[in-house]
Amino acid sequence: MNLKINNPFKSIWGLLLVASLFFAVPTVASQQDSTAVEAQTETTVDTAGSAEADTTAAPATDEAPATTDATVSTGTSTTTAAAAEETSKIDPQVYKNFFYYVLLFLVICTVIAVIGRIHSLYVLTKKMNGKYNPLANNTFQAVLLFLFLLFFLWGTYYSFAVWGDWAWREAVTEHGKDYDQMFIVTTVLTTAVMVIMHILILTFTLIYRMRAKRKAYYYPHNDTIEKIWTIIPATVLTILVLFGFFTWRKITNVPEELQKSAIQIEVLGEQFKWSVRYPGADGKIGKRNYKLTTATNPYGIDFNDKASWDDIDATDIVIPVGKSVRFHIISKDIIHSFYIPDFRVQINAVPGMTNYFQFTPTVTTEEMRDRMNDPSYDYIMLCNKICGQGHFNMGKKVIVVTEAEYKEWLTKQGKYFTEDLQKEFAQNNTEIEVDQQTASLN
């Protein structure tokens, strides 16, 4: 009996011992790393010292400076390589932290196992003395579950009253009202179902707990109950799905005349930034072709299309209040997500295709700052797809201004078709039209 009880503890302590050995490894590794770094530093210093000595001892001839420069450059390259190698290594503290938490987890498991063994011994002792009652803890456990129900109901209320006010703000776009209405209806229905089900489950464990002189009623099947809990949820879910479907179609299926009259803005996502392109005076965004991507034309704009000659390069997204804006969302590498929380706007940026989202802002940035009582508040456009280690950095400011401020802002922005691109375009095309030479002035 003792062997069976102690065997699990031997296994656990064996795991703890093995983990402790691994825990000691990073310390040795860090010492080796520090020794290697010191040795590398000494080598660099010696190289630099020898370079200085050579510089002092060298005669004043034309060949001496060349030798000195070569020695110094060698020392510099060695230092750079050492720094790069040191940077690429993982800090030993990372390993220490990892094994610390592994050990902590194992210790917690050991404590739980010990408590379980103590309880098993207690139950075994009660059975040997003939005093064991398997129903003794039912009431205690049922009361605990009921207390948890009270805590759960309080937590639900607290989530809505406190965190709900903190996280929820009214949408600042016209379509956002429909979106918010759909969200509120869905939240109310699902919260009601959640609360009712928890009340029933956790009160039934108290009311109908097993007792010594109580016999359970065997109720194997009831067609009426089966129909109720099948038809009602299916109907509610169908209504919610249709509600969402028609709301989404209303937002995205914009009439063609409204599409053409809206302000056109192209947003390109790539790892890890957003690029924004506005049309010029012609109101048209020029064509783009990924095959035309170069160091001077990273956007891949096709400047054979004259509509691209006056396209505007913008650092922020600036849009006028009360005017419909149509975004052309594209990606240069992988899937990103065009997401502006305050506007209730989100749609994927997919390589090889263009997605569109059109909306009308209703509140300027300054008005929102007054509402929030925060003079530094800004609307932010984010990437809502985890796209790599620089995902956190994919944010761009969205500024909503009056129409007059928007027009003034446009006049201050630069063009994509810069002088360097015009020269590159001229070299690749033997015949240059006069319009191209004045494109940057439009």
Residues 6+ apart with CB under 8 A from 375: 369
Question: What is the distance of C-alpha 322 from the center of its chain?
Answer: 30
Q: Which CATH code is given to the segment(s) 263-441?
A: 2.60.40.420
Question: Which pLDDT tens digits describe the chain residue by residue (442 residues)?
Answer: 444 445 555 565 566 555 555 554 444 444 444 444 444 444 444 444 444 444 444 444 344 444 444 443 444 445 555 544 555 577 888 888 888 889 999 999 999 999 989 988 888 888 888 777 777 778 888 889 999 999 999 999 998 888 877 778 888 898 888 888 888 899 999 999 999 999 999 999 888 888 777 777 787 888 888 999 899 989 999 999 998 899 888 888 888 888 888 889 999 998 888 989 888 888 888 888 888 887 778 888 888 888 888 888 888 899 999 899 999 999 988 999 999 998 999 999 998 889 999 999 999 999 999 988 889 999 999 998 888 888 888 888 999 999 899 988 988 888 888 777 777 777 776 544 444 444 433 3
Q: What is the pTM of this model?
A: 0.62
Residues in the chain: 442
| Dihedral sign of CA atoms 187, 188, 190, 195 in order | positive
Amino acid at residue number 306: K
Crossing angle for the helix pair 92-128 and 2-57, to the nearest 10 degrees:
170
| Dihedral sign of CA atoms 96, 101, 107, 110 in order | negative
Pairing of strands 336-340, 312-314: unpaired
Task: State how far the Cα of 320 lies from the Cα of 110, in Å rounded to an integer.
Answer: 63
The helix or strand, by DSSP H or E, that contains position 343, with its residue range, turns out to be none
DSSP string, 385-435: S--STTGGG-EEEEEEE-HHHHHHHHHTPEESS-HHHHHHHHHH-S---HH
Give me the phi and psi of 95, to 5 degrees please: -65, -40
Tokens 């064991």 sit on residue? 132
Question: What is the distance of C-alpha 20 from the center of its chain?
Answer: 35
